[in-house]
Structure 1
Amino acid sequence: MSEQTTNGSSVTDGVTAHNGHLLGAGDIRRIAADAGISPTKKFGQNFVIDPGTVRRIVREAGVTADTRVLEVGPGLGSLTLALLETGAAVTAVEIDPALAARLPETVAEFMPEAADRLTVVTADAMSLSPETLPELAANAPNATHTPSSQTDADDRREDTHTASGNPFTLVSNLPYNVATPILLTLLERFENLDHFLVMVQKEVADRLAAKPGSKIYGTPSVKLAWYGQAERVGLVGRNVFWPAPNVDSALVSFTRYRNYDGKNTSTSKIAAESSLDNDNKRDQNVSQSANTIFAPTSSITHQANREKVFRLIDAAFSQRRKTLHAALKKLVPSEAFTAAGIDPTRRGETLTVNEFAALAAAVEN
């Protein structure tokens, strides 16, 4: 038994099946031709031409009608339409003026009922801040989320991340060459950015989610771990893009620590009080459902300034084959290694973010 819903999808035995609305290869090429748009290497543009891929991204991100979404680099609107299809409100930031101007027209053509839930901003993502995107600021009007039902409210148990007002999610197909700086910049400037699901080059995804001791563990891995937990959650083939890139892509999911205070320090109180080990807790608290994403607890137990921690990370990995003593000799005195309980003959690639924080704290003291 099936019935038609108001958004054009159908429901069969409780399972929703989508009917159209999203862009295929022919739609993408037609829109680009009509608008006189050609993909450019300058902006790293590879447009998704497969509806199944963008729906998969939205599903992995846990986006619902209650989610506030930021999309960086919407391009011709493939992912934008999939996000709007859920009922979510989307702020799309596009650096290319031609693409930014075209996006509302595409939504008006393929999903007119969602046009009032789309905001398009023409800007470089590296310039974004709560001042330039006031609707996504932590203190924005109507920032307090109201669950759409009592069931939703019950699902948001005590261990759910509660950002300081107006939490939002980043869902994007990011340009490969600037993905890491965009993510770290947004996490620094928006303390209420509590989750992201991004598609990036596979090599970049592996580095973002890498753990200490691996060959690909580096500056992006540690800095991202300062804010929360990241993991690679899937691969994406080259054939879903136009033009097809020369590399494979992957999806990275990230959830901010529920006890991150957003003030350039790590907060150890909640971590110390937690009775669950982080490794055991990961599967429980980073699980996603249609209504909520559970947040992990930070493993950082040392009070340390973020900028000073990041300075040590940069120095340690700028000469990653050198020992910590050699790489950090201008920043860390010998006694600080002793105070932090860290062997100075180790290399930076073996240190956890908590150990970098311990070393920074020892230098300050």
Structure 2
Amino acid sequence: MRNQKAWMAALLSTTLLFSGAALSAPKAYADDDDSLPVFTKAKPALDTKRFVSEWMSDIFTKAVAFAGTDKDYADIRDALAAGSTLAEATGLGSELSQKLLVLADSGLSQVSQNYSVSAEQLDTLRTELYNEIQAAVSTPGYVAEVEKGKFDFSSLLGQRLAEAKSIAVGMSDEEPIDIEDALSGGQSLLGAAQVDKASLVSALAAPVLDEIEAAVNAKRISAEEGSKLTDKTLSSIESAIAAPGGVQAAAASSSVTASVYAPAKFNASAFIRQHLRSIASDAYLVAEKDDLEFDELKRSYLDGVPLTQLTDLPAYTLATRILKLWEPELADLPEATRSDVLEQALRSISEAVSTGVSANK
């Protein structure tokens, strides 16, 4: 039997995947630790347009995180689709702008450390980002318009299937190495992990089905199409976890999954956003404090206490430990793509663990 704390944290990570707080940030991190994925130490020139674009690309996710438990993902998106502003949809009003600006300042504080940039360029960047944030939170239907018609079911399902093995390992009482050996020997993921089929299917399907429902409610897809995608989600997952050799082996022969596993289609931003939603449970898993309770950690984090403070670990140390939990899911990517994703992820994790998310509205 494995360490109970690790088992609980892995399972909680699955449970919280689409219900926890998420804070992500653009690519801008330089790694100087030799024990983990090595990225360039040279300071590159700053592409301000790309920085602003990437920071703004998931402003909806940031806003949902700040809304805490008062508003859920679907409610906020439905309100936007109906013409509300992001400030109105989250119920935060002007407070949302203030919170996003604080988060933006946190990201901007890293710029001079990681990029070759003058004080004048930094001031210009700050002004541009502030203006974009103010426009986003005050424009009726802003995010709904940006996301209109964008529902990539194949990528969504494919990325969820890519996480199937790590989720099954988290739910299983078997040792990870034993599961790997069983898969190598031709067993299915379901047989190798020896977990309940209904529970594994439910854990894998839940976030995908939530996204389908949200897409239907936002009128991005029809109810009929949503029903068909729901059936396809369940059948694809059931087939994948029952396939000899595991999900990756199934992808090689499946028209549904093979295309979404293609490296060119890998959505790094979606991968990072999904994993940041379970950042609290990941931090709990890698923390060294024996007296740390998960419920207390999550509650304090939502109340605004940074995970660095709760775990007594520096941001970089905590971020690199969490990154190691994510790395196995990227093993099949080409090295260049993998390094780029790891760089973005490390930057995003570092910002997330340094910022608490207030749920006290």
Q: TM-score range by the shorter chain?
A: under 0.3
TM-score (normalizing by structure 2): 0.22
More helix by share: 2
TM-score (normalizing by structure 1): 0.22
More strand by share: 1
Higher relative contact order (Cα pairs below 8 Å, separated by 6+ residues): 2
